[in-house]
Amino acid sequence: MKVKIANNAGFCFGVKRAMNMAWHELEERENGIYALGPLIHNKQAVSKYEDRGLKTVNELNDIPSNESVIIRSHGVGEDIYIQSKNKGINVIDTTCPFVKKIHSIAKEYSAKGYKIIVIGDKDHPEVIGINGWCNEDAIIIKTLDEIDQLNLDANEKYCLVSQTTINLDLYNSIVEKLSERLNDIVFKNTICSATKERQFSAKELSKEVDCMIVIGGKHSSNTQKLVNICRGIVPTFAVETKDELDINELKKFNIIGVTAGASTPDWIITEVINFIESI
Ligand code: F3S
């Protein structure tokens, strides 16, 4: 039995950076640190960090003064920084630099009188964060058709940004439609290529192997997307850890491909690979 690993699998640059920063901070402190929202969508990783002293809360109000809070890679709105400062809470900012860039665009253009349009999911923490840098006043759209329902003013100034994980085809089609409707609009392509690269690697590897194993949280949407891509090509098993692997099923295949969602830590991927190689 041979194992092949996708070229791009597991943590992206921004998540790896954030997780390393959080771990480093936890090692420095005796009393632990708070995280505003789950650090990552991976049960095993969160519980490893909680054992080291991470305390997850949903509201800044749940954090006492003089404590420290980790801002996740998704980022947050400007008000969280202001409120933290006012409450004497120390901010450990692990926001991905690519997301930070969107925050500065939203702030800069909103200050110059542009109306910000965001392509993304209005309930996603990244989009909520972006909206928090332009007075919570952004127009948020998820599909091309939604443009028809918008009350746009052709004489106003607009600036378009996107959630980092959206599809480039969707972005391009929205740019085309808005260019026809508006006279003064600035387009900022803020898509991050990490998601696309991971999907491309999974697809390419699926063509070379007899089955795929996709490692990632059951509730992780990017992991599910990888599962769907692989399943369209070869038999695919979705697991959170090595314990969910079925040895008898795997023995039916000669070459096994492995990939992992963006929130799957390296140590879980390594455990799966070691387990398959030991069969
Ligand atoms: Fe950052 Fe891209 Fe990952 S925006 S958090 S590197 S998907």
CA separation for the pair 261, 253 (Å, rounded) = 22
Query: 186 and 230: one domain?
Result: no
pLDDT band with cut points at 50, 70 and 90 for residue 167: confident
CATH code of the domain containing 267:
3.40.1010.20
Domain limits for position 89: 13-95
The answer to whether 103 is annotated as binding is no
Predicted pLDDT of residue 226: 95
Contact yes or no for 144/177 (Cβ under 8 A): yes
pLDDT in tens, 169-227: 999 999 999 999 999 999 999 999 998 899 999 999 999 999 999 999 887 878 998 99
Query: 112 and 187: one domain?
Result: yes
Q: Is the CB of 195 under 6 A from ligand 1?
A: yes
Q: Is the CB of 40 under 6 A from ligand 1?
A: no
pLDDT band with cut points at 50, 70 and 90 for residue 96: very high
Query: 201 and 257: one domain?
Result: yes
Residue 249 predicted with pLDDT over 90 = yes
Rounded (10°) CA dihedral 23, 28, 31, 33: -40
Longest dimension (CA), the chain: 66
The answer to whether 230 is annotated as binding is no
Angle 267-219-244 from CA coordinates, rounded to 5°: 50
Residue finishing a domain among 69, 95, 121: 95
Residue 1 predicted with pLDDT over 90 = no
> How do strand 90-93 and strand 115-119 relate by DSSP bridges?
unpaired
Query: 58 and 136: one domain?
Result: no
The residue whose C-alpha atom lies closest to atom 3 belonging to ligand 1 is 14
98 C-alpha to ligand 1 centroid (Å)? 7
CATH code of the domain containing 45:
3.40.50.11270
Atom nearest to 193 CA in ligand 1: 2
Residue finishing a domain among 95, 119, 144: 95
At position 272, the amino acid (one-letter code) is: V
- To test the pocket of ligand 1, the residue of 19, 95, 96 to mutate (highest count of ligand atoms within 8 Å of its CB) is 96
The residue whose C-alpha atom lies closest to atom 7 belonging to ligand 1 is 194
202 C-alpha to ligand 1 centroid (Å)? 18
pLDDT band with cut points at 50, 70 and 90 for residue 41: confident
Query: 200 and 263: one domain?
Result: yes
Predicted pLDDT of residue 222: 85
Query: 108 and 70: one domain?
Result: no
Least reliable range by pLDDT among 35-39, 93-97, 257-261: 35-39
Residue finishing a domain among 38, 71, 95: 95
Query: 47 and 119: one domain?
Result: no
Query: 181 and 199: one domain?
Result: no
ipTM of the complex: 0.99
Query: 87 and 110: one domain?
Result: no
pLDDT (mean) for 62-72: 96
Predicted pLDDT of residue 73: 94
Look at the chain and report how many structural domains it folds into.
Answer: 3
Residue 30 predicted with pLDDT over 90 = no
Q: Is the CB of 14 under 6 A from ligand 1?
A: yes
Predicted pLDDT of residue 161: 98
Residue 42 predicted with pLDDT over 90 = no
Query: 121 and 55: one domain?
Result: no
CB-count exposure of residue 151 (10 Å: 0-12, 13-18, 19+): exposed
Q: Is the CB of 222 under 6 A from ligand 1?
A: no
Query: 247 and 162: one domain?
Result: no
Query: 207 and 232: one domain?
Result: yes
Atom nearest to 97 CA in ligand 1: 1
